[in-house]
Amino acid sequence: MISFTRLFAAVVFGRVSTALAMPALNSRASPDLICGGDRLSISSLPSANETLLAHGPDPSLTGTEVKVHWNVIHADETFNGGYLTSDQVDAAINALNEHFAVSGISFERANLQYTNNSDWFANASIGDTELDNPQAAAMKDQLHTGTAQDLNIYSVGFQTSNLGGYATFPWWYKDSPKRDGVLFKWNTIPGDQSLPNYSQGKILVHEVGHWTGLYHTFQGGCSDSEGDYVSDTPAEAAATFGCPTSPTDTCPDLPGFDPVHNHMDYTYDACKTDTFTPGQVSRMQAAMQEFRSE
């Protein structure tokens, strides 16, 4: 069972319920995307991080192919009802492959399943005290397939919450295998313009980043010396929104400008122009080898 004391990774559009604790917001831009859960506590996962830091990736095992089990959850057979075509799903997977190419991790569609369930489409979301609410838990219990190596993606509507997506971390799989995977808002796929700032598929890229072991770039802010456990992503006081037009440094006592173009921040899709850093690649490779291999 994954509770909020172990936290999930989530992004949301606009405001969130006051029942969820929110990180400090960076005042230099409007909050288009904010974290949907408690601020991630590194101390809650010490053994996982120590394991990854201890051995790093094995260069002989860096080529990893992930089978994708994609579940289209829809209320009806229209796009507004959540229905995605095979071509739209492939476009999203192509975006994953484009942005994860630097990591040696690739994604191949293993199956595509359609489930007509208006309750799941509208209401599947995070829970109040656990990772998944009843609809999301029931959905995963029925549809999840594969092993720790396989990525289960659920495209849903989040119509009764403001979520853009949420994901599980690799080290959670052993305790809760059925809950493993990614939920994301269906209309953030590449090419759709109903949410023009999130139309390049990078919400899904961000969430799969968590699924492969990455934290937010702003994890720990300026006060946490470990931050996101990646040495080449500069510290950042809080999530960045929109797309700053000039370099900013919200942690002036620490080296580097804010990594606002990194996939693991919360800027607009068009702003996320950097590839994953070598440090992020090393962490993903180590996490996949340690927690998502046979």
Return the active site residues.
Answer: 207
Helix (H, G, I), strand (E, B), or coil: what is residue 137? Answer: helix
Q: Give yes or no for a contact between 51 and 288, defined as CB atoms under 8 angstroms apart.
A: no
Contacts of 208 (CB under 8 A, 6+ apart): 96, 100, 107, 151, 167, 182
Nearest by Cα to 150 from 28, 50, 67, 47: 67
Contacts of 239 (CB under 8 A, 6+ apart): 23, 25, 26, 33, 34, 35, 216, 218, 265, 266
> Which amino acid does the sequence have at 51?
T
Q: Give yes or no for a contact between 153 and 69, defined as CB atoms under 8 angstroms apart.
A: yes
